[in-house]
Amino acid sequence: MGTLKITKKHHKHLNNPFPSTPRSLPFIQGRLLFNSQTVPPNKIFSVGKDFQLLWSIKNGGSLSIYHQSQPTKALWSTIPGQAFVTAALCETEVEESRGSFAIKDRNVYLVCDHQTIEDIRVISEPDHHFDQENDHDLSSGNMSFAQKNDWKDTQFPALVITGWLFSNRRKKRHQESGIYKDIQFETRGPPTCARYWVLFDQKNNNQIGFQVRVGPPNFEFQQRISPTPLGRHRRLRWKLGKIRRRKLGWYRFFTRSRGFVAVSSSSEEEMEMKSAELTEFNRVCITYSSEGNERFYGFGEQFSHMDFKGKRVPIFVQEQGIGRGDQPITFAANLVSYRAGGDWSTTYAPSPFYMTSKMRSLYLEGYDYSVFDMTRHDRVQIQIQSNSVRGRILNGNSPSEIIENFTETIGRPPELPKWIISGAVVGMQGGTEAVRRVWDELKDHKVPVSAFWLQDWVGQRETMIGSQLWWNWEVDTTRYHGWQQLINDLGAKNINVMTYCNPCLAPTDEKPNQRRNLFEEAKKLDILVKDKYGEPYMVPNTAFDVGMLDLTHPDTAAWFKQVLQEMVDDGVKGWMADFGEGLPVDATLYSGEDPISAHNRYPELWAQINREFVEEWKSGRAGKEREDPEEALVFFMRAGFRDSPKWGMLFWEGDQMVSWQANDGIKSSVVGLLSSGISGYAFNHSDIGGYCAVNLPFIKYHRSEELLMRWMELNAFTTVFRTHEGNKPSCNSQFYSNHKTLSHFARCAKLYKAWYFYRIQLVKEAARKGLPVCRHLFLHYPNDRNVHSLSYQQFLIGTEILVVPVLDKGKKNVKAYFPEGETCSWQHIWSGKLFKEQGSEAWVEAPVGYPPVFIKAGSTVGETFVENLRNFGIL
């Protein structure tokens, strides 16, 4: 039994501004041995009809997986003589503060860092005789692979590898790795071993699945094989016979599938553990080879890096943070709210998926917390907070092919309705008069507008930190009087209205004009997340606390869809489905599932409810109205996980700072756009101008006019062109601030409109293949090593348009790179100049209003784009 300690930091107002990186399990390494009597010396095993596994005893033994179409390219391989499965049992501490989380590995009690292989065989059907045959040495009461899994979702024939994980302190015979036979060892105190199973099965033509399960620790065997020299795991000096005794504060037991104890957070609690309680490992590690020059891309929506070689990437949904390492704002955010600044790894939408420059790709299934460790030049280790793991290894000859194979399984978004990508989505607040006033100005400047997004449709209230929304999802008829008439008037000009909601509800007893109190309704229906006392869990959110919908409850979806239905009945055609990243890890859910893995699943459940409503609404329409794309609904969200592209229709990147900085500003919005695209998020965009402004006496982040205008130019080449006033509208330059900003907004909206025809094509392709609209150059030029080092500097729209945005203050020119592997020249849209040399760089002038954009010379897309620019009068 492991322990889970949860420490709440919500109300701690003076904190370390430079918090340390959360401590995690160090890289575990051990030896691999194999039984020469039961394991063949060298053999190729077929796994399904398209994959092969090669077992070789060279240099101590290794495994390699190949696709039969490329028998010389290893998709995945272990390190000769090194354990590829290891396990540990340790304590977990989670520090939580308002949607920010730090997960720490504390005391390590057990580590099995060495591995043996007893058997490798192909089975053609669920083979319980095989299972019993390999489990006869386990102590009574231990469950077998088949009993625990029921061979669920396994495709036969499958390949199964079995053996032991072990640790020992002293041995009679020294052996480094490789073959063993009848070797015994001695220890002081009980040695530890555990049975493991690894299963490979073909899932489809281009994916091979893997499962790893580690059995319970066994302290009572007497002549079990563990011949390899353990040495001492220098970072983990533990003694099996002397488990450390600790003082225990009060604690409470929860029933969890992985068997942990939830410890209260009021003080520094410690827990006494005895050998008899060590019933299950809670860490399993998979280690395999990597090349020193191999680049790793993906891992969901990442904001600071494109390539993750040399880094440890945690996969956990949370707030991205305020600053994420950019100073001085990260310092200030951490000081006043625990870890609120975040760091380079914090993100709303991570994914346990990657692809490499060597065309290797892997992803994990399930929702357990995991860490991908790529700090070693020759190997990768994935640490999973569980005693089992499932995943898939992908085959593909190009990055685009890998994305297509990946999204074939996890899911792809539907085609977006044309109206959302036909013009500007104008983010506004202020009420009916403010909307009508700005609408008149937009008409005067002939701005193509597709929708008004009215975040404050629910009304606002004054709190200690300023104006905040009432989280009660119905229109505030005082702020938006004549709501229905406003929607009708806009609709008459083919302009839709969009609103805002999230899965949290605030008590509204003090709201003067409410019709429904959704918090009280949900509380009465018992569909709110509960705390350990069985009461609604009130989650701190800035100046007020909120209840959170329990999306695992069978009644929640129907109730919330009815809330959405009332909104749509008024004529609303879209909404922001915000949040989803803040489920407390000590919450009690209706499903009874582990709240840490449920935390990662929550944003997918949130997307699923919204998506189901959209599809059900569409199916309820009749005739032409049902098929008309102008009638379709759409929602967009920021939180996500691996399968979110299946459920989410459209994403946005959350709350960037209104700054030029790299980790949390305009540059990070490009990195997030491109990394998420590699990870299956085909439709993404950011708030024009960023969101988060700061107006403190000594630290000020205000949106400048130049930043706003450059961000307009950038987002004119993303899937959706949407503005946001930000968290402090009065501190920010707005598109409607003056004639200059309004004229520039009109110009950029027309620039966005000019490639509408191509955007439609790319949206269709994304729904069919999963390819993103905005693409890192790696997707189409993977053999150009110069492309590998690019992050935010430039990107592609499809294959035909190259964008080199201006992302630095005061810059009037930028350096463009023209990749190797392209047969045609690139043409600058403003000057018409051709750039013919492959693999070359060039400085290009970029005054405000003329973002450096290039088209493939002679392409139909490029010529049509340029012609549309002329027709709009901006070229």
Give pLDDT, residue 13: 79
Instruction: List the catalytic residues.
Output: 578, 581, 655
- Asked whether residue 141 is domain-assigned, the answer is yes
Phi first, then psi, for residue 698 (nearest 5°) are: -110, -5
Question: What's the number of CA atoms in the CB half-sphere (13 Å) around residue 624?
Answer: 0
Tokens of 276: 């008899």
pLDDT tens-place string over residues 51-93: 999 999 999 999 999 999 999 999 999 999 999 999 999 999 9
- Asked whether residue 453 is domain-assigned, the answer is no
pLDDT band at 150 (very low <50, low <70, confident <90, very high): low
Give pLDDT, residue 261: 31
Model confidence at 174: pLDDT above 80: no
pLDDT band at 177 (very low <50, low <70, confident <90, very high): low
pLDDT tens-place string over residues 680-737: 999 999 999 999 999 999 999 999 999 999 999 999 999 999 999 999 999 999 999 9
Give pLDDT, residue 125: 83
- Asked whether residue 43 is domain-assigned, the answer is yes
- Asked whether residue 340 is domain-assigned, the answer is no
pLDDT tens-place string over residues 452-479: 999 999 999 887 666 789 999 999 999 9
Is-cis flag, bond preceding 126, omega within 30? no
Give pLDDT, residue 169: 53
Q: What is the pTM of this model?
A: 0.92
pLDDT tens-place string over residues 292-339: 999 999 999 999 999 999 999 999 999 999 999 999 999 999 999 999
Give pLDDT, residue 179: 65
pLDDT band at 626 (very low <50, low <70, confident <90, very high): confident
Question: What's the number of CA atoms in the CB half-sphere (13 Å) around residue 541?
Answer: 24
- Tokens 């080199």 correspond to 804
Give percent of the chain with pLDDT exceeding 90. Answer: 80
CA distance 847 to 832: 16
pLDDT band at 868 (very low <50, low <70, confident <90, very high): very high
Model confidence at 184: pLDDT above 70: no
CA distance 873 to 867: 10
781-800: average pLDDT = 97
- Asked whether residue 548 is domain-assigned, the answer is no
Tokens of 635: 């929602």
What single letter denotes the amino acid at residue 598?
A
DSSP class per residue in 182-219: S--EE-SS--EEEEEEEEEEEEETTEEEEEEEE---B-
- Asked whether residue 481 is domain-assigned, the answer is no
CA distance 394 to 202: 10
Residue closest to 224 by CA, chosen among 60, 78, 112 = 112
Q: Report CA-CA distances (Å) from 264 to 251, 337, 830.
A: 6, 21, 63
- Asked whether residue 140 is domain-assigned, the answer is yes
pLDDT band at 266 (very low <50, low <70, confident <90, very high): very low
Give pLDDT, residue 263: 31
174-197: average pLDDT = 60
- Asked whether residue 843 is domain-assigned, the answer is no
Domain of 134 in residue numbering reads as: 2-289+360-395
Domains identified in the chain, total number: 1
